[in-house]
Amino acid sequence: MSSADSPGSAPETKAAVLVEALPYIRRFAGKIVVVKYGGNALAGTSEHDALALFAEDIVLMRLVGMRPVVVHGGGPQISELMTKLGKVTEFRDGLRVTDAETVDIARMVLIGQVNPQIVSAINVHGPYAVGVSGEDAGLIRATARDPELGFVGDVAAINPGVLHGLLNDEFIPVIATIGTDEHGQAYNINADTVAGAIAEAVGAEKLVYLTDIEGLRREVSDPASLIRQTTADELDALIADGTIAGGMIPKVDSCIHAVRNGVHNAHILDGRIAHVLLLEIFTDSGIGTMISAVPKLDPTSPDMHTSATTTAITTARKGGSV
């Protein structure tokens, strides 16, 4: 028997992964999945490679019948352009102080740079993606968060009509998180918050955040304490006791609010792992933290992350054999 014919060979592994994916493809066909893209978190040896991997995942999700919606920010790119223009970046409680000039810079970066890059990467594979901003068709109605922060906004309302129109026409919306108030004034809004609000407004099945950590931990310094599944109530307690803090709070708050308002599951994933979206959505093991409104009790449910296949599937994917 040749090595190519031996059990566990690459063709058999590929076939097994495809078979494993079938119930998930069937379950999620026609379902909306909102994915918050964070460029710094994604896998790849360069920014271009990272974006290409992400685009492949999004297109595959679309081709097997899912309806992905991409939400992005662009904080590092905004800071980079501000530095080039000689403008000092000021943060208060983790939020960028945004005067009139800064909000113009944010619009240039998000709508004129980051959004077209994501759209182009997806459209390498076909005419799928359409870029929109929160200003388009009143998609994101904003209110000022704090006068001292300037034009930093909170989400007041989402008008999902433009998104449903694009989804019904089988496009992938790619959303820049600039919103406007009732007078047309633009505001820069935290992309984590926007992703959660959009997931609720469009009735998404899943809300997915790509980050630079493998998921949530019960002990921040202990990788072995990774939380595979949790509930909104448990996360409330982890925020209250300080386990979850800093930059993770907007993501976790959005997850909590989303699953309590109709989104079936939220996920926090390590975007540095190649094809992490496919690993989480289409395998038994999953790879990050999954949040639901209530505990998942049925071990046969496609939403359950069983531990039996975790090592085999993750090893195969990381090794590039599938």
pLDDT at 94: 72
pLDDT at 141: 98
d(CA 143, CA 153): 5
Residues in Cβ contact with 283 at an 8 Å cutoff, skipping those fewer than 6 apart: 17, 20, 21, 24, 309, 313
User: What are the beta bridge partners of residue 136?
Assistant: none
Which residue is listed with tokens 């379902």?
Answer: 31
Is-contact 33 173, C-beta < 8 A?
no
Residues in Cβ contact with 219 at an 8 Å cutoff, skipping those fewer than 6 apart: 225, 243
pLDDT at 308: 33
Is-contact 78 105, C-beta < 8 A?
yes
pLDDT at 321: 31
pLDDT at 159: 96
Torsion angle in degrees (nearest 10) through CA of 216, 190, 155, 187: 180
Sheet containing strand 129-133, strands side by side = 129-133, 172-176, 67-72, 32-37, 206-211, 265-270, 289-292, 229-231
Torsion angle in degrees (nearest 10) through CA of 82, 85, 90, 91: 0
Cα separation of the two ends of the chain: 22
pLDDT at 98: 93
d(CA 55, CA 146): 36
Q: What is the pTM of this model?
A: 0.86
d(CA 133, CA 110): 8
pLDDT at 313: 33
Helices (H), the chain: 10-28, 47-63, 75-84, 100-109, 115-123, 161-168, 191-202, 232-240, 248-259, 276-282, 310-318
- pLDDT tens-digit profile, the chain (322 residues): 444 454 455 788 878 888 889 999 999 999 999 999 975 555 455 666 889 999 999 999 999 999 999 999 898 889 899 999 999 888 887 788 999 999 999 999 999 999 999 999 999 999 999 999 999 999 999 999 999 999 999 999 999 999 999 999 999 999 999 999 999 999 999 999 999 999 999 999 999 999 888 899 888 888 888 999 999 999 999 999 988 887 788 889 999 999 999 999 999 998 888 899 998 999 877 789 999 988 765 444 445 454 333 333 333 333 333 2
Residues in Cβ contact with 272 at an 8 Å cutoff, skipping those fewer than 6 apart: 41, 42, 43, 212
Which residue is listed with tokens 């998942």?
Answer: 296
Is-contact 189 177, C-beta < 8 A?
yes
Domains (range + CATH), the chain: 39-49+68-188 (3.40.1160.10), 205-322 (3.40.1160.10)
Backbone angles phi, psi at 282, to 5 degrees: -115, 10
